[in-house]
Chains A and B, each alone.
Chain A
Amino acid sequence: MTLYADHDLGTPAPAQDAPPLTLEIDGVSVTVPQGTSVMRAAALAGIDVPKLCATDSLDAFGSCRLCLVEVEGGRGTPASCTTPCADGMKVNTRTDKVDKLRQSVMELYLSDHPTDCQTCSPTGGCELQDLATTVGLPDMRYGLEGINHLNLPVDDSNPYFTFDPTSCISCSRCVRACGEIQGTFALTIEGRGFDSKVSASAGETFLESECVSCGACVAACPTSALQENSVIELGLPTRTVKTTCAYCGVGCSFNAELQGDELIRMVPDKTGGANEGHACVKGRFAYGYASHEDRQLNPMIRERITDDWQVVDWDTAINYVAQKMKTIQTEHGVGAIGGITSSRTTNEEVYVVQKMVRAAFGNNNVDTCARVCHSPTGYGLKQTFGESAGTQDFRSVAKADAIVVIGANPTDGHPVFASRMKRRLREGAQLVVIDPRRIDLVRSPHIEAAYHLPLAPGTNVAMVNALAHVVVTEGLVDRAFVDARCEDFDGWAEFISSPEHSPEVAQEVTGVPAEDIRAAARLYATAENGAIYYGLGVTEHSQGSTMVMGMANLAMATGNIGREGVGVNPLRGQNNVQGSCDMGSFPHELPGYRHVSDDAVREVFEKLWGTRITPTPGLRIPNMFDSALDGSFRGLYVQGEDIAQSDPNTSHVYASLKSLDLLVVQDLFLNETAQLAHVFLPGTSFLEKDGTFTNAERRINRVRPVMAPATGKHEWQIPCDIAQAMGYDMSYDDPSQIMDEIATLTPTFKGVSFARLDALGSVQWPCNDEAPEGTPTMHVEDFTRGKGRFMVTTFVPTTERATRKFPLILTTGRILSQYNVGAQTRRTPNVMWHAEDILEIHASDAEMRGIHDGDEVTITSRTGETVLRAVISDRMPPGVVYTTFHYPLSGANVVTTDNSDWATNCPEYKVTAVQVTVGTGLHDTDVELAARAAR
């Protein structure tokens, strides 16, 4: 139960387009859509019928027997939650008969419930306690003697919440939340009758069970049976602030609930457009990093990276950076310095960094961490559709009939969206998974993919071309859509119809049976609504951009663009990847994806900024590294990104960073990159930030500060101060002024302001005069570029191939409990689920190498080697191994290569030829990594 509970209407809303009907409840006339329950209709009329097992986020269950009502002309006392309204119905919710029945039911509940209401943790937040008062109990005829459940053991295995079965009333809300909302089905009611009890998996503890700790059960529990540990330890919160999660690209809305400045819990917001009341283990629980002892709160400088850090005040640090940057430019040229923005910071914080680079540094050497994840999305969708963004909102998946998931693992990477998707799959939508690894979505409770196409890493384009070949050659093209909405179709159709793109040929390349490719293509093309969702398994390849265009071709050819239930949808890794790209973080684009060579666009910025803007693109991150080594790039400002850990070919990155005259790191922690820095500027956690994040569905959400910056300075102020110290006038009183400037300069943000976001909750850009409340679905009438453009997508195999020396292909991914480089989640109890990165390897590959489950193994590529623990996994096909990259000691990027996407330089993380050998050796890289970790 939340601090400030929304009015719970008891049962979910029916379809809003259902015909209306009118009934009378306690003499009040109420009109509702057909399919509405009596309980919901009553609540809408202001009459809250007592309930325990009902809540409007779950389907009606009808077990608690508290919501009984009488219907005139009807028999008995039906449960209002399971009774649908009928036209002309007359309902009475308060009669002597139902009052007496409710008292009797409540009496039975309390006869087997602890009597410690005064000291119980949720006092003031317990629905059972509240209802006992509402219903009224003149007598308590049953004592606590006899058989009861009051001595059952407490399960406190989970680090974030406790299950106390003595307080459980077996209402099944937790069980239903786990199934209906989260879609994991880890909980059940075990036993029958009096022996009924909530059980995690098969009688295991919550920690050992299949529970994913999303907390939906905790939120659903009407008593203290399932309770956040923070509430047990600290008591209920006293104030709440609505804000946005700082983890993945789903961008969930939360109510941060606090006592004073102490965060007690994060409660997902039911009105949040992205998550509608759901959350995952990271967003709901893993916020402890914000106050972790490793957090750095003071600016620090040092002349050499071998020196000890010197704590200084902000002015000293700012002036040090400004003077050093100016000196470098004087000695080595204007283009010798640059900056990197972060997808973990707000739009406003990103905007001021790129403005600092363009206006104060005087060049376009600004890039962002999207370079190493979704830059091909920006390129590919811009080329085909005309806009560098996904086409749908998350709700859209509820109308998809065929869902194709390519190179993404939503249940781990984007769990709240995955829950939406799983709900639709349980309703009957068909699923195609294209991934080398058998991810959970392929087969999990109540879900089974129609087709899993376990293609060889690096063959995405061959696969998408084969799918398109089937569409074109089997007459599955939506000609009406193509003729009306697209261009360059004929040339593309001729290309794709060539026999070299047939599934039979692709089978040889991808390893996927041709008949499965054909069947999957038919399924997608013939569905009423076909939707594509994809992740870094698409983009982080040498042909990442080609693959994005290939998916866009497929969607256009089948007419799956421009309405709900369809689209091409990138699942963004970090919460503000979309926003950081929108804000002009790329070296060739100003905010709003407008090229720096466009004189008219530049003129608008130059007029407002009062300075000239360079008309040629600046350096991308890999170019910065290369230029650092050749001496032409010597000063780098890094905002909230750990490039030393996250970027490929670690030894190359280290050599580059070590060669800089000035490396400035702005972050929460002394991360791996900071080990090589000369200046450390402490950043703010999402709890201290004031601004906006833009999620993967282009939804701009407010990030509201729940406490003052622990560092004494807002993060958006730092680049402003540096620019100011370098002689460029750049200051704002408030971050809303930054957004106002963004809106002035960026047509797709024209209608965005903090005031509008506060009024509407969130908006999806484009938000302008044509769409003042935003645009949930893009390209409805026309594509942003006018006609959708078919692009020829020639399959060019990567040069990174398995050889006799490196016979396996390593691919990488994320796990549910950890997040990217782990800087945040490693500093939370989430390490209980994932304490180290492991190498998943197929049994046959392990056997031929003498590797046993749990062995330490050495992974060697042509760029480096590292050591991981091996787990034998039937998720992997033979010849492919897999690891995560959440721990610096694992050094996953020590072995990844510097291959990259041809269009954007996005690294090819997903394909690295390696050899795996049992045992460990002492290797320079390991020693270096271990030493750094020890520090």
Chain B
Amino acid sequence: MITAPALRLAGDILAQFRHLPDDQAVDTVANHIRMFWDPRMRAQLLELATSAGADCDPLVSRVVTSLGD
């Protein structure tokens, strides 16, 4: 699966900020992705998170929503 890294990496980033309150963690991860990810990586993340549906980590889903792509 070519696009798998985007979802895995989003989870990896989130893992670093789990100590934060959820809202703050979501903002931090979303901001990191905005700062460092190419738009097509963000598009892949959106696609994967959407297709994963309920299987997607809820906070990752919130990050995707927050990115607003």
Pick from A627, A796, A898: contact of B40, CB under 8 Å: A627
Q: Beyond A622-B5, A626-B3, is A495–B19 a contact (Cβ under 8 Å)?
A: yes
Pick from A616, A620, A900: contact of B39, CB under 8 Å: A616
Residue of B nearest to A495 (CB): B19
- Contacts of B1-32 to chain A: CB distance below 8 A: 2-3, 5, 9, 12-13, 15-16, 18-19, 32
Pick from A618, A619, A902, A904: contact of B15, CB under 8 Å: A902
B5 near A587 (CB under 8 angstroms)? no
- Contacts of B30-50 to chain A: CB distance below 8 A: 32, 34-41
Answer yes or no: A760 CB below 8 A from chain B CBs.
no
Q: Beyond A626-B3, A630-B2, A630-B3, is A794–B40 a contact (Cβ under 8 Å)?
A: no
- Rounded to whole angstroms, the CA-CA distance of A796 and B14 in the bound complex is 11
For B35, the chain A residues whose CB sits under 8 A away are 588, 595, 597, 617
B5 near A796 (CB under 8 angstroms)? no
A794 near B19 (CB under 8 angstroms)? yes
A623 near B41 (CB under 8 angstroms)? yes
- Rounded to whole angstroms, the CA-CA distance of A546 and B12 in the bound complex is 12
Q: Beyond A542-B12, A623-B41, A629-B2, is A588–B36 a contact (Cβ under 8 Å)?
A: yes
Q: Beyond A335-B40, A617-B36, is A905–B19 a contact (Cβ under 8 Å)?
A: no
For A618, the chain B residues whose CB sits under 8 A away are 38
A587 near B19 (CB under 8 angstroms)? no
Chain B nearest Cβ from A384, distance in angstroms: 14
0/1 string, A613-650, CB within 8 A of B gives 1? 00011111011001101101000000000000000000
A794 near B2 (CB under 8 angstroms)? no
Q: Beyond A495-B19, A546-B16, A796-B15, is A903–B36 a contact (Cβ under 8 Å)?
A: yes
Residue of A nearest to B32 (CB): A903
- Contacts of A330-389 to chain B: CB distance below 8 A: 335, 364-365
- Rounded to whole angstroms, the CA-CA distance of A616 and B43 in the bound complex is 13
For A903, the chain B residues whose CB sits under 8 A away are 13, 16, 32, 36
Answer yes or no: A207 CB below 8 A from chain B CBs.
no
For B5, the chain A residues whose CB sits under 8 A away are 622-623, 626, 898
Pick from B13, B34, B38: contact of A623, CB under 8 Å: B38
Answer yes or no: A792 CB below 8 A from chain B CBs.
yes
B9 near A905 (CB under 8 angstroms)? yes
Chain B nearest Cβ from A628, distance in angstroms: 9
- Contacts of A902-935 to chain B: CB distance below 8 A: 902-905
The number of chain A residues touching the other chain, given as a range, is 20 to 34
- Rounded to whole angstroms, the CA-CA distance of A898 and B39 in the bound complex is 21
Chain B, interface SS category: helix
Chain A nearest Cβ from B38, distance in angstroms: 5
Residue of A nearest to B4 (CB): A626
Chain B nearest Cβ from A181, distance in angstroms: 44
Chain A nearest Cβ from B27, distance in angstroms: 15
B2 near A626 (CB under 8 angstroms)? yes
Chain B nearest Cβ from A813, distance in angstroms: 25
For B37, the chain A residues whose CB sits under 8 A away are 617
0/1 string, A876-919, CB within 8 A of B gives 1? 00000000000000000000001010111100000000000000
For B39, the chain A residues whose CB sits under 8 A away are 616
Residue of A nearest to B42 (CB): A616
For B16, the chain A residues whose CB sits under 8 A away are 543, 546, 794, 796, 902-903
- Rounded to whole angstroms, the CA-CA distance of A595 and B2 in the bound complex is 28
Residue of B nearest to A797 (CB): B15
- Rounded to whole angstroms, the CA-CA distance of A792 and B20 in the bound complex is 10
- Rounded to whole angstroms, the CA-CA distance of A5 and B44 in the bound complex is 62
- Rounded to whole angstroms, the CA-CA distance of A320 and B5 in the bound complex is 34
Residue of A nearest to B43 (CB): A632
Chain B nearest Cβ from A249, distance in angstroms: 24
- Rounded to whole angstroms, the CA-CA distance of A902 and B15 in the bound complex is 9
- Rounded to whole angstroms, the CA-CA distance of A392 and B22 in the bound complex is 38
- Rounded to whole angstroms, the CA-CA distance of A85 and B16 in the bound complex is 61
B38 near A587 (CB under 8 angstroms)? yes
- Rounded to whole angstroms, the CA-CA distance of A796 and B19 in the bound complex is 11
- Contacts of A231-284 to chain B: CB distance below 8 A: none
Chain A nearest Cβ from B41, distance in angstroms: 6
B38 near A619 (CB under 8 angstroms)? yes
B40 near A632 (CB under 8 angstroms)? yes
- Rounded to whole angstroms, the CA-CA distance of A365 and B40 in the bound complex is 12
- Rounded to whole angstroms, the CA-CA distance of A771 and B36 in the bound complex is 31
Chain A nearest Cβ from B44, distance in angstroms: 8
Chain B nearest Cβ from A298, distance in angstroms: 35
Chain B nearest Cβ from A450, distance in angstroms: 32
- Rounded to whole angstroms, the CA-CA distance of A335 and B39 in the bound complex is 10
For B3, the chain A residues whose CB sits under 8 A away are 626, 630
- Rounded to whole angstroms, the CA-CA distance of A350 and B37 in the bound complex is 22
Chain A nearest Cβ from B69, distance in angstroms: 11
- Rounded to whole angstroms, the CA-CA distance of A630 and B47 in the bound complex is 14
Chain A nearest Cβ from B45, distance in angstroms: 12
- Rounded to whole angstroms, the CA-CA distance of A626 and B45 in the bound complex is 13
For B38, the chain A residues whose CB sits under 8 A away are 335, 364-365, 587, 616-620, 623
- Rounded to whole angstroms, the CA-CA distance of A792 and B25 in the bound complex is 13
0/1 string, A698-739, CB within 8 A of B gives 1? 000000000000000000000000000000000000000000
For A546, the chain B residues whose CB sits under 8 A away are 16
Among A495, A623, A796, A898, residue most surrounded by chain B Cβ atoms (within 10 Å):
A623
0/1 string, A485-514, CB within 8 A of B gives 1? 000000000010000000000000000000
- Rounded to whole angstroms, the CA-CA distance of A617 and B42 in the bound complex is 11
A902 near B9 (CB under 8 angstroms)? yes
- Rounded to whole angstroms, the CA-CA distance of A434 and B41 in the bound complex is 36
- Contacts of A514-568 to chain B: CB distance below 8 A: 542-543, 546
Q: Beyond A622-B5, A905-B9, is A794–B36 a contact (Cβ under 8 Å)?
A: no
- Rounded to whole angstroms, the CA-CA distance of A335 and B34 in the bound complex is 17
A902 near B13 (CB under 8 angstroms)? yes
- Rounded to whole angstroms, the CA-CA distance of A678 and B66 in the bound complex is 42
- Rounded to whole angstroms, the CA-CA distance of A905 and B6 in the bound complex is 11
Residue of A nearest to B9 (CB): A902
- Rounded to whole angstroms, the CA-CA distance of A898 and B36 in the bound complex is 18
0/1 string, A115-126, CB within 8 A of B gives 1? 000000000000
Residue of A nearest to B12 (CB): A902
Among A542, A543, A794, residue most surrounded by chain B Cβ atoms (within 10 Å):
A794
- Contacts of A597-617 to chain B: CB distance below 8 A: 597, 616-617
For A595, the chain B residues whose CB sits under 8 A away are 35
For A905, the chain B residues whose CB sits under 8 A away are 9
For A623, the chain B residues whose CB sits under 8 A away are 5, 38, 40-41
Residue of B nearest to A545 (CB): B16
Residue of B nearest to A587 (CB): B38
For A627, the chain B residues whose CB sits under 8 A away are 40
For B15, the chain A residues whose CB sits under 8 A away are 794, 796, 902
Residue of B nearest to A798 (CB): B12
Chain A nearest Cβ from B58, distance in angstroms: 18
Residue of A nearest to B34 (CB): A597
- Rounded to whole angstroms, the CA-CA distance of A364 and B3 in the bound complex is 20
Chain B nearest Cβ from A381, distance in angstroms: 16
Chain B nearest Cβ from A69, distance in angstroms: 67
For A902, the chain B residues whose CB sits under 8 A away are 9, 12-13, 15-16
For A617, the chain B residues whose CB sits under 8 A away are 35-38
- Rounded to whole angstroms, the CA-CA distance of A595 and B36 in the bound complex is 9
Q: Which residues of A contact B (CB under 8 A)?
A: 335, 364-365, 495, 542-543, 546, 587-588, 595, 597, 616-620, 622-623, 626-627, 629-630, 632, 792, 794, 796, 898, 900, 902-905
Q: List 20 A-B contacts (CB under 8 A).
A: A595-B35, A597-B34, A616-B38, A617-B36, A619-B40, A620-B36, A622-B5, A623-B5, A623-B38, A623-B41, A626-B5, A627-B40, A630-B3, A632-B40, A792-B19, A796-B12, A898-B5, A902-B13, A902-B16, A903-B36
Which 7 interchain pairs have the tightest Cβ spacing? A902-B12, A796-B15, A630-B2, A619-B38, A629-B2, A902-B13, A588-B36
In the complex, besides A365-B38, A794-B16, A902-B9, 11 extra interface pairs with C-beta distance below 8 angstroms are A588-B35, A588-B36, A617-B36, A619-B38, A619-B41, A623-B38, A632-B40, A796-B12, A796-B15, A796-B16, A904-B36
